[in-house]
Structure 1
């Protein structure tokens, strides 16, 4: 006659100790354990047996009468341990010996028969969840497939998973109606039946906040749900991430305790602690293109209860110095959309051009999907400049739109990721500008790893300007190539069309490509070999310049520091150039 084992189905059930399911050892001993030898069992099965057989954890100084009693109880403990992992058919021999030494020893020789296999596994969901596709899609007993070995621990884990999944979707009254395991020892098969009544699905109740340093209307816009919507833990997690990442708060916690008044609702209470309001930053840096650089910054993360923010920055460097300020505020969904007013002054001095630029503008930043940021903008810029022998000034009112996407950015060495930036902008003489043009740019970089130590870095920059007379454009709108992040082996912005005196004047178009191989040689150091090629040009008359070289990278606590040595190929009159840069790969 087959043995019927039920779990939670009424009187007459045979209960397995929880330890048999989990394989947890629950003893603490300061004395040395005796030698208990167990043979004939696979390692997972033996580990589970040792966790349940109390004799296996008994110390040498235990009284003989107690050792003998534990030895007698070993039969039942072995049975529970083996059955928990699907082994109902087995034989065993055991011995216990006391000798003249300071300890005793025991042996347990086990011969396993065929394990019990699952034959029928049925999971039935009733209540409101029976029509919930998200529940039905995720509740799939992969660990309880027919023909697999019965494992009571995996069965218990699956039950807990089902109940936790239902509660995460708002079925707080869910209960197990029946949960049984029926084992036919004669055929070595088992059937599992699980029936769950989900009950009603709860809805979100009122949303309240502990600290109203911001208007409640703004805080509510961070929630992507409203009172009355069906409850879902995912929406709570998104609210937590949004508030925690807003910069307004130092800590966020959310309480979601179902109401007990029979309303089937879950009130949401958000506890908020204000974050640092004003932040001051300073920094020093160096790169071959710009030389030594000093930086000062100030940020006010919360100018008022409407969530307005202000940020200013001053950069002083040998090549490029600027002072900028941005005032921004959330619009609509603060997770996705912000409006910013910005202005600044930039002074740029390179080997090819000088310029002083005053800029004012407005930008709307909004998320498009999970990884894309879309930013329509309009800039008004007045620029005094010199390029070669040309000295001029210009005013441009430039509307445009930018798309940016970064995936996998890390401060230290990253294994994979990519950055893409697309921009379209233009100006017209009839709309307040001194000249007309349309410009498209695209920049991308990929990091691809072949192993933990080996990776490729691929970079490309493209630009096109619909404008015949490049001299009508200021240098900030023209294209130049060469430098640390362009074509290594050449000085900063020294590649492009030239005038009659040999001065680089910049071009309407740009094409730059780079391929770099990087190999890790220790935890914090790697070596690299690279080749860069590209040029700025007019009318598609391209003279590509190519540089190649080697480098070393140190992954410092502040980020990667790169030292490269590059030589321009095919130009014997040019010397090798050193390039030093600091910052993340993307």
Structure 2
């Protein structure tokens, strides 16, 4: 899809496979660096497969160079950089070699997008692979060798050449003969040339020497990079005419519009990114059939400049036509159209197309969501019909969970059943049963999406629970009805009306309560993974006014906020720093007048590890928790992956529960530290945490352990 953004250091390579296929096995394989990666983007329409065209030179660049090169200059292609490499027109050969071709696509951004000079049969540069010893054979173990890279090279260029060198990469697989070693050295030329051109060096010279008289043999590669070329003139020509701006997108007319500066180093990555950006902007401004028809890059050796000339075929300016839905079986088509919110008649915008796709995919009802439109552009401006092709996923699922701890709970388990398309319009019914030695609970949740508006859902919840713990005993039935509204991709707002009937016994006595409340909450969630987040934030802010209308009348307000953040300094996520905080307060009533289940507690596996369940804070004469009117908690972790499957997590937790609405300023908190192990499964990590209190009280145990699925927070 041409609307996909250019990610990080990645680059796009494109073209029409129907015009001829590069012999990728012998050409692109020579460019593959160690650890390199490439993003292959294929646009699939009807029965034809083609790449998103951002460079026209995956076809026959060698022939085009000889035909188009002006006198006194060389034509440089931002693309494969194939030179005189073989071009195969037989599509069947492409199919037979597809696996080998794709395996060779491990290219870094600079190599995939290398502005490559077309090599000439009369190229005066010295061949890479001269030698000082003609002995043709070696021993049965192969020819061991070492490599020296010589020349006055800038540090980044030297690092790039070392990165792409297969000589160094293949030292642990020595060639069988000295002649094979020399062939390996000769094969290195293409990789070095592509790397030099990708960095903007066109007036380079390469030479090598193989000294097999030494043991191991010495391979010397000498590089004279010459000057780094800069970007000269940059022109953009649109055909058949300059397109019109639309959808807040201006059409680029110059290098500056593409974040290029004349005089900047003529490196491949920004030039290729500029081509992709032109196509992206056009697809967002009404031109989905736009493509780079020709890209001419001329290397001027006299001025050490690279001049660029792009010809862009815009195609017709179109609008969104009718939407056809295919593949819907159990999900009603009216509901699909409602959540798709199709922009019928509006000027074509690839961003709007992606938004439709994302809205349908977010329903969690489909395994695949594809928006397809005709491969052939309409003959003139007009509406383009689009087909929404769907494949439904199973709508029912069963979930299980379990945890073991040394605290008062000892063990707990969870069983759930969910139907995500109860009446055909994405309605969700979820039933849960939770059990431990302290608490048993049954819950039901019904969610109706698209309630009154597309970003809003109706929620109905009910529960029944029984608990016998050191803090209190209770039996409670509860129900609520409310709405949930999504704001953008990260924000969610909830507003409920709730009622609870309960009988509770604690240190203050036994009471029956009938509570009516209006809980409200705002959540901000940018986590990249719910069970094992490595980046993002999760922040919640809630407030719930309650009125007791039973035997014991009271009014109180509960406010609570929590925040967790995750950050990895490395792209591999081998190390993740995680932190969390919780702050809560209870207003307007004394603790004794508030039901025990509404007070604040701290301690345990989901709170301050190292302390027993709910034990932090005020205690009665028997050492049982009383709960409090405010709570403060913090937690810090460093999650370190020592292998793909194993991780270690040192952590520090702290917190306190107070009798007053405002926490005391003395920071007399309970602290604990510990070490955890993680075993990473496909569904998330299995965690084992062992924590010890740093300032234990007399009633606290010496350590606690916790075993469950998922990170601590």
Map Cα deviations across residues 193-230 of structure 1 (whole Å, 9 max, x no partner): 44646465321111111134333332122224421112
Moved more, 339-348 or 529-538: 529-538
Aligned to 2:336: 219
| Structure 1 counterpart of 2:423, from 299, 304, 316 | 304
Instruction: Sort the Cα spacing of 1:541 and 1:297 in 2 relative to 1 into closer, same or farther, 3 A.
Output: closer
Listed as ranges, the gaps of 5+ residues in structure 1 are: 1-6, 51-58, 62-70, 72-77, 96-106
Task: Tell whether the 8 Å contact from 2:504 to 2:596 is kept in structure 1 after alignment.
Answer: yes
Given candidates 667, 674, 685, the residue that maps to 1:550 is 674
Give 1:556 deviation, angstroms: 3.4
Give the Cα separation in 2 of the matches to 1:111 and 1:446: 49
Match of 1:584 in 2: 711
Alignment of 1:263-302 (within 5 A): 264-287=382-405, 288-302=407-421
- The yes-or-no answer on 1:522 pairing with 2:642 is yes
Count of residues paired in the alignment: 543
Bigger Cα displacement from structure 2, 487-496 vs 139-148 = 139-148
SS of structure 1 residue aligned to 2:130:
strand
Q: 1:119 to 1:431 in 2, by over 3 A?
A: farther
Aligned residue number for residue 114 of structure 2: none
SS at match of 2:565: strand
* 1:466 matched to 2:587: yes
Deviation for aligned residue 1:437: 1.4
Q: Classify 1:169/1:432 alpha carbon distance in 2 versus 1 (closer, same or farther; 3 Å).
A: farther
Q: Report if the CA contact (8 A) 1:284-1:294 is conserved.
A: yes
Partner of 1:75: none
Equivalent-residue separation in structure 1 for 2:542 and 2:466 (angstroms) = 23
More strand by share: 1
Q: In structure 1, what is the equivalent of residue 123 of structure 2?
A: none
Q: Deviations over 1:82-139 (max 9, x none)?
A: 99987776899999xxxxxxxxxxx999977656543332446663345665344798
RMSD of the TM alignment (CA)? Answer: 4.7
The answer for the alignment partner of 2:42 in structure 1 is none
Residue 372 of structure 1 pairs with residue 488 of structure 2: no
Shift of 1:428: 3.4
Is residue 2:345 matched to residue 1:232? no
Matched residue, 1:104: none
Report whether the alignment pairs 1:22 with 2:81.
yes
The alpha carbon displacement at 1:395 in A equals: 0.5
**Pair 1:460–1:289, CA change in 2 (3 A):** farther
Contact 2:524 2:538 in 1 (8 A): yes
Please give the residue correspondences for 1:87-486 in structure 2 after superposition, counting only pairs within 5 Å. 117-123=230-236, 127-130=242-245, 133-136=248-251, 145-148=261-264, 150=266, 158-159=274-275, 161-163=277-279, 165-167=281-283, 169-172=285-288, 174=290, 186-189=302-305, 191-194=307-310, 196=312, 198=314, 200-212=316-328, 213-257=330-374, 260=378, 262=380, 264-287=382-405, 288-332=407-451, 336-410=455-529, 414-428=533-547, 434-449=553-568, 456-486=577-607
Query: 1: CA distance between counterparts of 2:427 and 2:414?
Result: 24
1:244 CA displacement: 2.6
Does the C-alpha gap of structure 1 residues 388 and 208 become closer, same or farther in structure 2, counting only changes over 3 Å? Answer: same
Q: 2:656 aligns with which of 534, 556, 561?
A: 534
Q: CA deviation at 1:182?
A: 6.0
1:162 & 1:372 partners in 2: Cα distance? 32
Q: 1:18 to 1:357 in 2, by over 3 A?
A: same
Shift of residue 189, structure 1, vs aligned partner:
4.4
Q: Which stretch shows the higher mean deviation, 226-235 or 238-247?
A: 238-247
Q: 1:535 to 1:448 in 2, by over 3 A?
A: farther
Larger deviation: 443-452 or 78-87?
A: 78-87
Q: 2:195, 2:416 → 1: CA distance? A: 65
Deviation (angstroms), 1:151: 6.5
Q: Secondary structure at the match of 1:242?
A: helix
TM-score by length of 1: 0.77
TM-score, with length taken from structure 2: 0.64
Contact 1:353 1:388 in 2 (8 A): yes
